Amino acid sequence: MSTHTHDDSKAAKVNVPDGFDSEQVKNLSSVLNALLADVFVLYLKTKNFHWHMSGAHFRDYHLLLDQQAEQLFAITDAIAERVRKVGGTTIRSIGHIARLQRLADNDQEFMGARDMLLELHADNKSLVDSLRAAHEVTSKANEYATTSLIEVWIDEAERRAWFLFEATR
């Protein structure tokens, strides 16, 4: 039996083959965790509007928002895993998300369909801006895998924004 203490968190960090210095890990983790918080907020808002949609185009909008929410949820794990792969720690709770989020929640009891779509359009455009800012950080750190993923996520967010824009015309 060993008599020395073992700190699992330090051991985990030492064993991560990330190649990034502590400042890079801090910067990458920070930008990616804020991005992850925003994706969770946008996911939940999209599901909220999906659940509370009504009106003449209910079926089309209901299905559109469900597809968009699925796409958003699908990237959450990849973002969190990128944080871990570079040697950082990621979001642990809804409270943690609330502290990091830059997109606003929407707790309104009723909104018209067009207003919902316009708000989601604006939020997806904001997410594109955040993704581009994260791309700069990951590019600067030569973090190629995350940079590549972010390029796909930018395209997806632009497409969501475009669909929402077209649906409001």
pLDDT in tens, 131-163: 999 999 999 999 999 999 999 999 999 999 999
Say if residues 73 and 43 touch (Cβ distance below 8 Å): yes
User: What does the chain come to in residues?
Assistant: 169
Q: pLDDT digit string (tens) for 54-89?
A: 999 999 999 999 999 999 999 999 999 999 999 999
- CA dihedral defined by 16, 23, 149, 42, rounded to 10 degrees? 110
Domain ranges of the chain: 20-167
Written out in words, the top-level CATH class of the domain with range 20-167 is mainly alpha
Using one digit for the tens of pLDDT, what is the confidence trace for 116-133?
A: 999 999 999 999 999 999
